[in-house]
Amino acid sequence: MLVDTDALEDDSAIEADVCIVGAGPAGLTVAKELAAGGVRVAVLESGGDGVEPEVSALADGEIDGIAVQPLEATRVRALGGTSNVWTGQCRMLDEEDFLPRAWVPDSGWPFRRSELEPYYAKAHRIIRFRPVDYDMAKWSARLGQPCLRPSEKIAFHRVSLCKPVNFWSDYALDLKAARNVTVVTHATVLAIRLTEDEGAVVRLDVGNLRGKRLTARARHYVLACGGLDNARLLLLSDDVQACGVGNRHDVVGRFFMEHPRFISGTLLLAGLGLPARGLYSEYYLGEGQAIRGDLGIVPEVRERERIANVAGRLEAAGKEEYVGGARAAVRLFRHLRQRRLPHDLGDTLWQIITDADEVAAAAYRRFASDQNVSTFTVTTLIEQAPNRESRLTLCERTDAFGQRRPRLVWRFCELDRRTAFRAVELLAQAVGAADIGRIRLEVASEQVFPPSTEWGHHHMGTTRMSDDPRTGVVDRDAKVHGIANLFIAGASVFPTSGSAPPTLTVVALAARLADHLRRRLAAL
């Protein structure tokens, strides 16, 4: 059932077994999995069906550090959440990403990847990508497309599976039809209210921008409103626990991580080069699916060099970046491949029309010049190391509800800088050792990060997972330490981020959390 807060009585109470805050990939996966088990679920979404400027503005805040984009531009408060703009890139975290690494402070998950693998399998089914295959050599043989052969002692191939799924439009029919699921739109959670003994959540206070106030009560609560707002909501709820819910050890909001990426080198290939639209671009497979190959550095070398995880992306020179209308055209094209229209179709078309010359030039580069090329731009995406000083706090400015806005202090450490520089040097060694070509560096060691740095809109780590409440906000079951019935879903629980796009892991963790909640409810 889908209902808007405008249709509900003022001061009415929403009741369910599980109340989920946020209708993005994490929240909707938990809802879908629980709904199949007959659990009564309420999903509270701050936005509606489509982006609304006044709702988006609620996510605005301040940035101290590299301010790449306004915060509100990195979130989507609407049904489907960030899957409305997701490019669909899926890859599992590496096994090593789950392990503690002596040279990466505060690294390691409470469990190994094997714990998550059944849920990765489920996540692949949810994404509906077929066949699930992360082996570059097999894709190369299957598609008859060449791939590089860098030195295996230094580098290896990774494959990302690309299939943009809109978690709302793809699941809306199921969830709307489910009698045990209520999705409430324009329902912004304003506070988490605890019992007197501070041991459990007793209710959520909810409001909409037209002044309506409600409450939501459930046996269990799941925060799934993104890597910034999960932490912000805990910090805002400071009436009983002065530092915010679950924040006795001052960990909430800390350890913020992103996936900074930047142009790090130019690869000049020997021989005949590679197809410009080969396996290193998004190679379209049909049925809305594509794959893309990246280069990684082997774990033993990363350990020896004491660097974090990285992904090296190759784009035929001149094809690496779409801006303005061209970017909008690419997004429209991706939607059309899925036989869908973007939620902001009018804006998208307007951008394309007003930037027609750039769109035409980009289209020519993309489609009319698909010969082999020898020059590729190397873009490095790094795993940002966990860092207590990189954090989300609250600032004095307030939003339309009078709530304090977020302030993001995005900080890098020496390990991040070393990773950024050494990674491309190591890739240069890998291609040189195999006589593939040479790489020219576009980064200098003394630079913090080059001007071309972008972020991936991957907000991670602010409610990190650890068995020790002094170093984590949630435990291995994603339950907030010290609060019996409050759970968190999303990339904010990642203790380390690896170099993989986070959504597949977010969906896998959400499916795992749904299993856990089902077991808890059954035991009651």
Please pick, from the candidates 62, 96, 174, 425, the single residue that binds other proteins as defined by CB under 8 A.
425
Q: What values do phi and psi take at 472, rounded to 5?
A: -150, 155
Q: Which is nearer to other proteins, 180 or 266 (CB)?
A: 266
Segment 270-274 long-range contacts (CB within 8 Å, at least 24 positions apart):
270/435, 270/436, 270/437, 272/372, 273/372, 273/373, 273/374, 274/146, 274/147, 274/148, 274/316, 274/372, 274/373, 274/376
Q: Does 281 bind other proteins (CB under 8 A)?
A: no
Distance CA 376, CA 274 (A): 9
Q: Look at residues 376, 266, 378 and name the one whose alpha carbon lies nearest to residue 311.
A: 378
Closest approach of Cβ 426 to other proteins, in Å? 8
Q: Which is nearer to other proteins, 284 or 449 (CB)?
A: 449
Distance CA 314, CA 304 (A): 25
Q: Which is nearer to other proteins, 338 or 375 (CB)?
A: 375
Closest approach of Cβ 149 to other proteins, in Å? 12
Number of residues forming the site for other proteins (CB under 8 A): 23
Q: Does 428 bind other proteins (CB under 8 A)?
A: yes
Q: What values do phi and psi take at 409, rounded to 5?
A: -105, 95
Does residue 356 come out as left (phi exceeding 0), alpha (psi in the -120 to 50 range) or beta? alpha
Q: Does 236 bind other proteins (CB under 8 A)?
A: no
- The footprint of other proteins on residues 129-158 (CB under 8 A) is 151, 153-154
Closest approach of Cβ 454 to other proteins, in Å? 21
Closest approach of Cβ 375 to other proteins, in Å? 7
Closest approach of Cβ 268 to other proteins, in Å? 5
Distances from the Cα of 432 to the Cα of 155, 280, 440, angstroms? 11, 19, 11
Q: Which is nearer to other proteins, 215 or 266 (CB)?
A: 266
Amino acid in position 150: P
Give the HSE-up count for residue 175: Cα atoms under 13 Å, Cβ half-sphere.
Answer: 25
Q: Which is nearer to other proteins, 272 or 336 (CB)?
A: 272
Residue given tokens 């499916």 in the structure block: 511
Segment interacting with other proteins (CB under 8 A) among 115-123, 263-271, 379-387, 394-402? 263-271
Q: Does 74 bind other proteins (CB under 8 A)?
A: no
- The footprint of other proteins on residues 355-384 (CB under 8 A) is 374-375
Closest approach of Cβ 451 to other proteins, in Å? 16
Segment 170-175 long-range contacts (CB within 8 Å, at least 24 positions apart):
171/28, 171/32, 172/2, 172/79, 174/32, 174/35, 175/2, 175/28, 175/31, 175/32, 175/35, 175/43
Q: Which is nearer to other proteins, 155 or 488 (CB)?
A: 155
Q: What is the DSSP letter of 389?
A: T
Q: Look at residues 445, 389, 379 and name the one whose alpha carbon lies nearest to residue 412.
A: 389
Closest approach of Cβ 443 to other proteins, in Å? 9
Distance CA 44, CA 34 (A): 15
List Cβ neighbours of 247 (8 Å cut-off, separation of 6 or more): 234, 235, 241, 253, 473
Q: Which is nearer to other proteins, 83 or 429 (CB)?
A: 429
Distance CA 341, CA 339 (A): 7
Q: Which is nearer to other proteins, 180 or 372 (CB)?
A: 372
Q: Does 298 bind other proteins (CB under 8 A)?
A: no
Does residue 65 come out as left (phi exceeding 0), alpha (psi in the -120 to 50 range) or beta? left
Q: Which is nearer to other proteins, 59 or 443 (CB)?
A: 443
Looking at the DSSP assignment, which residues form a beta bridge with residue 310? Answer: 382
DSSP code per residue over 76-90:
--STTGGGGT---EE
Segment interacting with other proteins (CB under 8 A) among 48-56, 70-78, 267-275, 392-400? 267-275
Quick one: tokens of 242?
Answer: 């002065």
**Do residues 497 and 509 lie in contact, with contact meaning Cβ atoms separated by under 8 Å?**
no
Q: Does 434 bind other proteins (CB under 8 A)?
A: yes
Q: Which is nearer to other proteins, 428 or 473 (CB)?
A: 428
Amino acid in position 125: R
Closest approach of Cβ 424 to other proteins, in Å? 9
Segment interacting with other proteins (CB under 8 A) among 83-91, 211-219, 266-274, 462-470? 266-274
Please pick, from the candidates 441, 476, 516, 521, the single residue that binds other proteins as defined by CB under 8 A.
441
Q: Does 270 bind other proteins (CB under 8 A)?
A: yes
Please pick, from the candidates 95, 121, 271, 400, the single residue that binds other proteins as defined by CB under 8 A.
271
Segment interacting with other proteins (CB under 8 A) among 183-191, 388-396, 435-443, 464-472? 435-443
Please pick, from the candidates 27, 312, 342, 437, the single residue that binds other proteins as defined by CB under 8 A.
437
Segment interacting with other proteins (CB under 8 A) among 18-26, 94-102, 387-395, 439-447? 439-447
Please pick, from the candidates 440, 447, 467, 470, the single residue that binds other proteins as defined by CB under 8 A.
440
Coil, strand or helix at 506:
helix
Judged by the rule CB under 8 A, the positions of this chain that interact with other proteins are 151, 153-154, 266, 268, 270-271, 374-375, 425, 428-430, 432-435, 437-442
